[in-house]
Amino acid sequence: MNDNLKVKDIILKALKEDKETYDVTSEWLFDNQERSRARLIAKEEGILSGIDVFKDVFKVIDDSIVVSSALKEGESITKGQVIAEIEGSTKGILYGERTALNILQRMCGIATLTNACVKEVQNTKVKIVDTRKTAPGLRILDKIAVRAGGGFNHRFNLSDGVLIKDNHIKACGSISEAIKRVKSHAPHTLKVEIEVESVSEFLEAMNAKADIVMLDNMTLEDMKECVRLNQSNCTLEASGNMKLDRLHAVAGTGVDVISIGGLTHSVKALDISLRFE
């Protein structure tokens, strides 16, 4: 299933969730011929993400509904700015309003937070990446929003790459054994990443020829020591408790990547309203 089909599937499921049979309020207030115009207004500043998905919600409902916007994915929006104008069937606009806003507000919230994180590490080599801590069923949208904010995507799913975490290691017995088992199966095109929690574990992972080592919940001093010992053998990813006010200092240790679950698992939706004229 390609990305467009995945997005359409999300829209269809969300619309069905909101309208099991029909919208009783709108059905009893309006006939099929009534038309309205509305504006989509930002109530706070941020980064736009999901405008194309917003348009697609109404296209699925009624392709005669027109959503006009000159803004593009990843652009800045200001408080009070008109993001888009909508015109068409009154019942159709009302049916899609909540679903379209839910998706757009979440995606804008993710893009806005991601952008703030990216700005904290600007002028460094560090990439800000997401995780698989996404809302169930919404992963493709969450990850599109991260990119709109200037971040990068980690794995989309479990088949995208090897990531040996603490429970894998405990079940295998050791870091070296886990890497050995994986490398006996993995093709040369697939990178092997492993999570470690101390400098000694990092050395074991590096000596076992891991491609990427995730430094999980380490102090700044320990991260700096891993960077010193690494000498560019592995890509180093810092993770765990990566709050906005800590990112600049973490980037200063010399790591290559900072992964942040909070970009998607507990993001605050951007405040956006749809108002009829």
CA gap 114, 244 in Å, rounded: 10
Q: Please give the structure tokens belonging to residue 56.
A: 């697609």
Residue 112 pairs with which residues in a beta bridge?
Answer: none
Catalytic residues: 98, 133, 165, 195, 216
CA gap 212, 179 in Å, rounded: 11
Residue 106 burial (CB < 10 Å; 0-12/13-18/19+)? buried
Q: Running DSSP on this structure, what letter comes out for residue 189?
A: T
CA gap 212, 104 in Å, rounded: 34
* Length of the chain in terms of residues written: 277
